[in-house]
Amino acid sequence: MKLATYDSSGAASGLELFRYVPPGVEGSPRCQCAACGDHIWSSGAYRVPGLAGLYCGMPCIETGLFSLNHCRWCGREMEKPYTSVESRLCSEDCGANYFAHVLGDGAARLGSGKRFLLWLQRKQPATYREIVSSATLEGFCKNPRCPNGENGQPASLVHLRAGTKYCCDACRVQAQRSPDRQKSPSKTPVFIEDSRNSSRRKTFPLKLPKKRGWRNTSAFRG
């Protein structure tokens, strides 16, 4: 299986589609991340269609989708009681992918966005297409309407020279004729940082209880 790759800025710009700022007062926490419990401030967080709650970043979105009673690979809800990680892998395929790409080579480790993209592709193809187009996906044709890829993705560029942006001349021309789709989708690069390191958080005067748990990837493996 071919997995789309996010670079860090790409993940941020693609995720901008899901940005939501809950109402509240500037300088006060507005609500909490549904996965890690960190406070969400005026910069907002992500609200993914089909997933309840607000999430502060990709690790937390993937935690929301693939933890607890959900298949660790595809996110399907599972009813049988938890015994071991195998009890949270709904099919042989999911098991094989999980062991190969999460526990194995780490390509789909928590927070990489890969399992999220696969989930989105399956559950919400239209949204998937949109996020893939707006994100800077490494190794894919940068024409948002590229018709040459598989499974709704733009064409892969792996066989082309490094630095190549488009799979063919037609894509280059089409992309350059639609400047509205080409402008940087990320107006607030601040957002790329880990929110725990933001200056706002450092200067917040109260000692907030720090919830731990799902940030710890190893806790997620069991």
The footprint of Zn ion (CB under 5 A) covers 33, 35-36, 38, 56, 60, 71, 73-74, 76, 90, 94, 141, 143, 146, 148, 155, 167, 171
- 5 DSSP assignment: E
Q: 90 or 102: whose CB is closer to Zn ion?
A: 90
Whether the CB-CB separation of 138 and 10 falls below 8 Å is answered with yes
Whether the CB-CB separation of 88 and 142 falls below 8 Å is answered with no
Quote the least distance from Cβ 35 to Zn ion, whole Å: 5
Length of the chain: 222
Quote the least distance from Cβ 25 to Zn ion, whole Å: 21
Quote the least distance from Cβ 38 to Zn ion, whole Å: 5
Q: 33 or 131: whose CB is closer to Zn ion?
A: 33
- The C-alpha angle with vertex 134 and arms to 143 and 8, in degrees rounded to 5, equals 115
Q: 17 or 78: whose CB is closer to Zn ion?
A: 78
Candidates 220, 191, 186; CA nearest to 108 is 220
Quote the least distance from Cβ 170 to Zn ion, whole Å: 7
Q: 60 or 117: whose CB is closer to Zn ion?
A: 60
Candidates 52, 51, 50, 56; CA nearest to 19 is 56
